[in-house]
Homo-oligomer: A and B are copies of this chain.
């Protein structure tokens, strides 16, 4: 999936009432704090509950449960439970889920690639803001 799109020949089209383009649906689904991280981790391979928990620093047991269940419900992740002692449950990406890992990777790549630029922009903005707003902020 080539997201390399340099051409943004964007006509200032009309109102384009359907501006969300389904993006909202997607954001409602994986716009939360953990969903994408779980997907990325599962993109590396099958993982057990505990492995996911360790692999995603900061996630709580509760949120891991909630997130994985939501992903199962949406058909992006498949769950396999073995009735062994101790219990063992495996999570893996479904074909549907795997079909979006490319985008996630692109996203992560972009983030890492432009992290510095954003940091610089912020520094610049903070300086500018001090000048244009509420003078004497420094």
Contacts and interface: CB of A to CB of B under 8 A. Distances in A.
B125 A10 contact: no
A43 B6 CA distance: 12
A64 interface: no
Nearest to A98: B8
B21 A40 contact: yes
Q: Give the number of times this chain occurs in the complex, counting copies.
A: 2
17 contacts: A1-B106, A3-B105, A8-B93, A8-B98, A8-B101, A11-B44, A12-B46, A20-B37, A22-B111, A22-B115, A25-B115, A27-B33, A73-B122, A74-B125, A75-B118, A96-B114, A96-B118
Contact of A29 (B26, B46, B93, B118): B118
Given A21-B40, A31-B32, A32-B31, A8 B48 contact: yes
Interface of A: 1, 3-6, 8, 10-17, 19-27, 29, 31-33, 36-37, 40-41, 43-48, 51, 54-57, 72-76, 84-86, 88, 93, 96, 98-108, 110-112, 114-115, 117-118, 120-122, 124-126, 129
Contacts of A16: 41, 44, 55
A21 B41 CA distance: 10
A100 B85 CA distance: 47
Contact of A121 (B41, B44, B96): B96
Given A6-B86, A27-B37, 4 more contacts: A6-B102, A11-B45, A24-B37, A31-B33
